[in-house]
Chain A
Amino acid sequence: MSSLSTSARLSLSSLRAHKRRFAGTFLAVLLGVAFLAGTLVMGDTLRASFDTMFGNASSGTDAVVRSTNVITTPGESQGTRQPVAASLAKTLADIPGVAAAVPGIQGAGQLVGDNGKAIGGQGPPTLAGNWINDPELNPYRLAEGRTPSKTGEVVVNRGAAKKGDLKIGDTTTLRTPDPVEVTIVGLATFGGEDGMAQVTYTGMTQADAEKYLTPRPGEAASIQVRAGPGTSQRELVDELTPVLPKGVEAITGEASAQENTDMISGQFLTLFTTFLLVFSGIALLVATFSIHNTFAIVVAQRTRENALLRALGASRRQVTATTLVEASAVAVLASAAGLAGGIGIAAGLQALFPAIGFPFPDGALVISGLSMLLPLGVGILVCLGSALLPAVRAGRTAPLAALRETAVDQSGGSRRRAVIGTALGVAAVAVTLVGVLASPSIWLAGLGSVLILIAFVVLGPVASSHAVRVLGSPLDKLRGVTGGLARRNALRSPRRTAATASALMIGVAVVSLFTVFGASLKATMDQTVSRSFAGDIAVSAPSFGAGGSGLSPKLAPAIAGQPQVATAVGLGKGVADVDGEGRALTVTDPAALARSFDLGTVRGSLDDLGTDGIAVTRKEADKQHLQPGSTARLAFTDGKQQNFTVRAVYGRSELAGDYVITRQAWAPHRAQDSDTLIAVTFKDGVSTDDGKAAVSKVAAAYGHPEVQTRDEYAQSSAGGIDMMLTLVYALLALAVLIALLGIANTLTLAVHERTRELGLLRAVGQTRAQLRAMVRWESVLVAAFGTAGGLVLGGFLGWVLVEASDGASDSAFAFALPPLQLVVVALVGLAAGALAGLRPARRAARLDVLRAIATE
């Protein structure tokens, strides 16, 4: 008890004395914990805000009546629901306890802004529906102007109007996807905000909604019901249920709001938080290395002090405890500061979101117990875990070490380490290769990758002396004795150099992994388009699933009518249960499809599918045991079922999709129709420019969809990847920053250790500039080692990931090493090293020559 408190006193006084040494550790933990805490608090707060928003918006709706028939295709959370008869509303309104019942029509409608560009459509849905005049039942509230009263008049949500620079009285185009001329007569809010996140909404008269948004008049997506006084939501549902036709259900308004919230949480928030959590994990992993290194160095520098304690009778455990108590103090302080910082970040983002046009209710931050305890726990664990080994090593200090000169750890690659590391590395690569090539398995490849990472860390000290010698060899020539000294300083303690570089290595490895994977994805898309797309021009627009309203089905025939055009094939989307499983259908002219797209090997023929024929990719055919001539049972969203005969099985599905049926077969079951892509081929002798101009002219009348040549189309398909990569790089910047803090910290400690030597160098004529350069170059060398290791590791793991994805999916995945990007990564790594060296270099140069040579 008293011995422990002695340890505690010793460590706390040493902490106070060496605040600077732990500044880097403190910051590393702080940043990692802040990222983690910020992510958790942000996620909870967003979730709560959506809850409130949906709760507010639909507070007047006591029950929702809708079909039970819903088809959900893989990768989609909401599914497509069968409509109900709008006339049902009248029947329901007469039931006692019902105050009002109105049909709600919902579809896709993308507004075109003042500048001629479509508003939104890059993910969040663009909704259109009938404006419900009962304000209690309408989730949108009229904020300005009036409600639509005649055809062509619409109310839009205020956020969309702002984005498109539209005002009341303006006339614009609404793509449904057929262009409809509309006049804005009012602006609406959702749950008190300018909109439901980035979703755009257009409310029109019921007649317009039926005309443009539903294939068959008299249908509605659902019926909203309001209870009379004294009737609870539950009671209302119980009263409604008996009178509903078969296949139609009633749920409470609360349940409906919850479904909407869950949908957003499930789709967007879970993805968002998982994504951020992965990156805070990477940051904390990098922090682990740099913290471990700091403690290892501090313990080594304190050998004499610890030996003296041991000589004076301190037990091993007491010496170990001293270091651990010190680590705990740093851990607790830094984690607590990180937690506060994380909450601060969340608050900052909450303030920032509205500024970038993302409506965000001002509700208080939601700080759950988990989002406090988890970051605190992880921060303390990371810090203590990293300090454990150095602390044990401190305890093992021999009392005799007090009498020796302070020995800096100069150990490097011991033979044992080299043997173990190499064996591990070989095994790891073998496991990975088996997982990738021999018997493809993501798990095996993943296990191999983790082992490779460990092998890299184990082999670091063995590799560092050789690598630094090679990487630094130009320095002697370039920078003379300054460069030579820098190189030798980096070689002094291979273990320390390796440990310092490991943190950066992991950061750079993850960056290069994503760079390689991104480039491979792009190459794959490029290949897909150039292989599968045989057209000259692609006309595309985001379809409903991707947020937009798609292309008008009338556009393809209009383009086909141009004198320059040979064929124009539109690809529409449909959904159906195929033998019991929800599947997306491609609705098109199959004969023309086969001419404009390379479908690979085709068994059977797509020329004559008729109204009861279907074409299937080989992959799906194998899965469902289908072959030309066999029968598949399709169930549609209108509740109808029909047997289709498989008339063709084709090889490539990248652009054409897995199931193809004719427009005639789809017509009876269709919902709001739209095409996602139109492939256009020109007649012989028509130049690309002429053809493109002709197509653009026709397309302009349909709300300016994207008209691109084959190359442009391939490039823009890959455009999203660049955006994603930019985001990933931004998030990885934190991990790299922590690694740099580690380098800076190690160097500061090394400068402290070499005080006398630096003083000597200054005395015999090294200028401050030379001294600074020496420290900076050492930093660059350490960074170069880490960067080189990271590039090799990241490149290899990128290849593993690409090959593993290739094995796991049916479409071929191409591997690409982007030389330019990787050179940029390497240069950034080196520049970062130079940056990390700045502060230690400045501190070293400030050393007083006399103090340095007089140090005892």
Chain B
Amino acid sequence: MTTATLTRTAARVVDAMKVYGSGDTAVRALDGVSVGFGAGRFTAIMGPSGSGKSTLMHCAAGLDTLSAGSAFIGDTDLSDLDDRRLTLLRRDRIGFVFQAFNLVPTLTVAENITLPMDLAGAKDDAASKEWIDALVDIVGLRDRLHHRPSELSGGQQQRVAVARAFAGRPDVVFADEPTGNLDSRSGEEVLGLLGRAVRQMDRTVVMVTHDPVAAAHADEVVFLADGRLVDRMQAPTPDKVLDRMKAFDAAGGARHAGQAPS
């Protein structure tokens, strides 16, 4: 099973370069990253702050454009798309869970969940109705469907965001620090949902996080440092991830120590 899914990637970047600014002040946020995110897998992107992990996710998800190299969703090269097509691609083929401010305050929970489909003007067919119905039960929000986001707790809001991300059965769901604003119990719930979506419903999730405990929910962790892919880890556990991260800190510390005298 593993080998079969590995041959297919839901999203990937090839020689991804992202440069902010120009001249002396230019910053290379991504410096030649090539990585694929397997379909049907839960991948975590980790790295210290400034490592480029958020930039990688933004570029892979069509929220930002690369300075050089290419990004693909399935076989679609994102660099070929104009803003409109990119938007439609995000709407139809990608799901998003952000750290905060995931929901439109004027819409009810139910409306927030179906927002991408409503934006597409899609007719509710029986299959998608059934799917969303099931999602609502999985995230446990049936009794909150007609509430406004402001009436929900932070954890509940993130669960709504998770339901929305999967509602359109997208090729891939990108989650950017989805538990960053939550207490550990709520965070655990959200991570559990993401994991279940991948393992029980064959969805694909790419998650950016700096929390080793969160990363341990993934099937695989890719490590970024200074805009480069430095490591990949299968079957992560919190301890293994933490150790790997400590190694970065040591390297970083050594670098800083080395620079200090000059």
Spell out A's residues near B (CB within 8 Å): 480-482, 484-485, 488-489, 491-492, 756-757, 760-770, 849-850, 853
Contacts and interface: CB of A to CB of B under 8 A. Distances in A.
Contact of A757 (B84, B91, B104, B164): B104
Interface of B: 58, 63-64, 83-84, 87-88, 90-92, 96, 98, 101-107, 111, 115-116, 118-121, 164
Contact of B87 (A488, A767, A853): A767
27 contacts: A480-B121, A481-B111, A481-B115, A484-B111, A488-B107, A756-B101, A757-B104, A760-B101, A761-B104, A762-B87, A763-B90, A764-B90, A764-B91, A765-B88, A765-B91, A765-B115, A765-B116, A765-B120, A767-B84, A767-B87, A767-B88, A767-B119, A768-B84, A769-B84, A850-B58, A850-B63, A850-B64
A853 B58 CA distance: 11
Contact of B118 (A481, A491, A768, A850): A481
Contacts of A762: 87
Contacts of B87: 762, 765-768
B101 A485 contact: no
Contacts of B120: 765
Contact of B106 (A485, A764, A767): A485
Of B84, B104, B116, B121, chain A has the most CB atoms within 10 Å of the CB of B104
Contact of A764 (B64, B84, B96, B111): B96
A849 B59 CA distance: 12
A765 B104 contact: no
Contacts of B106: 485, 488-489, 491-492
A766 B119 contact: yes
A844 to B, nearest CB: 14
A766 B121 CA distance: 11
A763 B63 contact: yes
Nearest to A853: B98
Of A485, A757, A763, A853, chain B has the most CB atoms within 10 Å of the CB of A763
Of A761, A764, A849, chain B has the most CB atoms within 10 Å of the CB of A764
A134 B101 CA distance: 91
A482 B116 CA distance: 11
Nearest to B165: A764
Contacts of A767: 84, 87-88, 119
Contacts of A481: 111, 115, 118-119, 121
Contacts of A769: 84
Given A765-B115, A768-B84, 15 more contacts: A480-B118, A489-B106, A491-B106, A756-B101, A761-B115, A763-B90, A764-B91, A764-B164, A765-B87, A765-B90, A765-B91, A765-B120, A769-B84, A850-B58, A850-B64
Given A849-B63, A850-B58, A850-B63, A768 B104 contact: no
A481 B107 CA distance: 10
A485 B96 CA distance: 20
Contacts of A853: 63, 98, 101
A767 B86 CA distance: 9
Contacts of B98: 760, 763, 853
Given A485-B107, A489-B106, A850-B64, A764 B101 contact: no
Across the A-B interface, give the 10 residue pairs with the lowest CB-CB distance, nearest first.
Answer: A765-B91, A488-B106, A481-B118, A765-B116, A767-B87, A756-B101, A765-B119, A764-B116, A765-B90, A766-B119
A760 B88 contact: no
B132 to A, nearest CB: 15
Nearest to A770: B119
A760 B112 CA distance: 11
A496 to B, nearest CB: 14
